[in-house]
Every structure is written in structure tokens, then in C-alpha cells.
Structure 1
Amino acid sequence: MDWTRLILDLIDLRSFSNLWYWIALAVTWSTASHWVLGVPYDMVLRARRVGGQAETDLEDLVRINVNRILYIVAEAGLFLMILLSFTLTTLALLGFVYKVEFCQALFLIGAPMTLVAFMTVMTARHIDKNGDRGEVLRRRLSLHRLAVQVLGMISIFVTAIWGMLQNFNISVLPG
């Protein structure tokens, strides 16, 4: 058994034909839609069903996470934006200009997740500005989750189409 070959087959950089990439994509979007502003969505459902202490816990956790998100944006937002822009531009150029499939795959995860991050900041600002509580807060979190899920479906669809196209092009190329 050739261990080097086994490891390289397991960590294949041809991402779109690799099962691990699709598992990572599914886990990424599942996690993004479950954790709404850093709050597990089951807490929103429990607060809606039970109320009382569950509602208070949800409001406290949302307040803590909103303050944390807004603090990070205020303190490091410009630096993070520059770093993110550089990273996404590098991935896009390497992936789509220089045809590095691994960079295409990372870009197709990273670019939509950047939109999720922007949506999260906007939702956090809205909650902070309006002081959302109770049903209004739960509705805001539910709408944010729905928007993330729609973005995830579109992203997975685009990634699947692009991946199939890449796999098709590789399979029909001579040599």
C-alpha cells in the first residue's frame, strides 16, 4: 500500500469531484443557518414555544452577541474588510483566471459567506438601533435565518452547476 498515494487521494485538490468538499459545503451552510447572530436557532423556537425564562435567555444572548459583533466591526472592521477583499480577490484570480480548481472551490464558499457576514452585521445594527425584544426579535432572527437559507440554496446550486461543468470539462478533455 502506497501511503503517499492514499493521502493524496484522500486530500484531492480537484475539489468538485471530492466528496469531502461537498460535505464541507453542506456543513458550512447548515451551520450558518443554525447559528443566527451566534445564537442557536433552537433557542428562538424554544422562546416562541415556552416564553418566560427561555425568552429572557434568548434576549440576553442576542444582546451579548449583537454587542460583540458591533464591537468587532467598530474596532477591526476596516482591517477585516481589507483582508477579506484581498483574500477573495486572490482566490477569484487564482481560481477563475489561472484555473486553480481548489481556489474556485474556496471562493464559491467564501464569497457567499461574506454576504452572510454582512447580513449579520446589518441585522445586529438593526436590533441594536431599534432595541428589538420579544416577538419582534424572534421575527427578525427568523427572517435573517430565512435569508441565509435562501442565499445558501442559491450558493449550493451555483456551486453544483459550476462543479458539474468543471468535472465535465475534465472528463472530455483529451489526455
Structure 2
Amino acid sequence: MDWYETIFELIDMRSFSNLWFWIALAVLWSSTSHWVLGVPWDMIIRARKKSADAQSVVDLHDLVRINVNRILYIIHESGLLIAGFVCFALTVLGLTGFVYGKEISQALFLLGFPMSLVGVFSVLTARKIRHSGLENAALYKQLYRHRLITQVIGMLSIFVTAMWGMLQNMNVGVLGG
């Protein structure tokens, strides 16, 4: 057996039967849920407590301000270019995956499309925080709402991906065996 076969045995291009794909899916949504607009969730919880020290509240507000400004700056400077590239990439993945039947494209689309929704929602949340000047309880409530919606998108994404992956694996099992 040559090295080329060994590598492609290790990196199975049939994504839905590959353990690495499912690990990547879990890590993706776990990380996305933990980092709310670039702020770790434990930091939000610590600042939200009644017994929180003043420094943790100041740190949270500073980090939210920095990340909101960063997100809105990126969108202002290159938002149209990013949107065009993401739409192009998702269209290519969708067509090659679901029209031409390439499983790796299906898997990448099922990872990328929900993340693009989270990205759009992050921009909307950042705009709301800046426009409304949210602070303290209102800010915590908005960050909690953002995390909750991100988790709902993640749960739906995992469910749809798991159902599609099982369907693909059953089809391969029926057709291949």
C-alpha cells in the first residue's frame, strides 16, 4: 500500500461516515455558542451576577465595545466583498453538493450555511448594541438573546446535518452493498 492510499484511507472523502467531520461539527457549534460576539460566555455570566466586582463589569463592557466596533468596521470596509464571496462559496458548495452529488460539498455547505446565518445575526446584534448604547442589564439580555438564537440555529443545523448524513450513509450502504 503506498502513502497516497494510506492518506486517503485516513481522510475519508465521504464526510458523513467520517468521525472527524462529526468532531469538527461539535467543536464548531460548541465554540460558536461559547463566544458571543467574541466575548466568552463565562465572562458574561461573571459580570451579570449581583455579586460581580466592578472590574469584571468594566472588562465585559470594554470587550463588547471592542468587538462590536471591530465587527462593524469590518462590515463597513469590506462587507459587500465578504457577502459576495460567502454567497459565491455557498452557491458553489450547494450546486456541487446537492445537484452533482459531491458529499464533501454537502458537508461543507451544511457547516457553512448556518454559520453564515450566525454571522449575519452577529452583525445585526452589534448594530443594535451600538445604536441603542446598551449597557448593564440591557446588554446582558441582548447577549443572552444572541447566544440563545445561536444555539437554536446550532441545534437545527446539527439535526438537519445528522438526518442528511444518515440518509447519505444509508443510501451508500444500500447502493454499495
TM-score band, normalised by the shorter chain?
Answer: over 0.9
Counterpart residue number, 2:41: 41
Give structure 1 stretches of 5+ with no counterpart: none
Cα shift at 1:56: 0.5
Is 1:167 the counterpart of 2:164? The answer is: no
Cα shift at 1:3: 3.5
TM-score of the pair, normalised by structure 1: 0.97
Root mean square deviation, CA, Å: 1.1
Q: Tell me the amino acid that sits aligned with residue 7 of structure 1.
A: I
Following the alignment from structure 2 to structure 1, what is the Cα–Cα distance between the partners of residues 30 and 139?
22
Cα shift at 1:8: 1.0
Give the share of equivalent positions with the same residue, in percent: 60
| Equivalences, count | 175
Pairs within 5 Å for 1:9-158: 9-49=9-49, 50-158=52-160
Write the deviation string for residues 81-121 of structure 1: whole angstroms up to 9, x where unpaired.
Answer: 11011000000000000000000000000000000000100
Q: Tell me the amino acid that sits aligned with residue 110 of structure 2.
A: L
TM-score of the pair, normalised by structure 2: 0.96
Q: Is the partner of 1:173 in helix, strand or coil? A: helix
Q: Is the partner of 2:134 in helix, strand or coil? A: coil
Moved more, 49-58 or 30-39: 49-58
Following the alignment from structure 1 to structure 2, what is the Cα–Cα distance between the partners of residues 51 and 101?
51
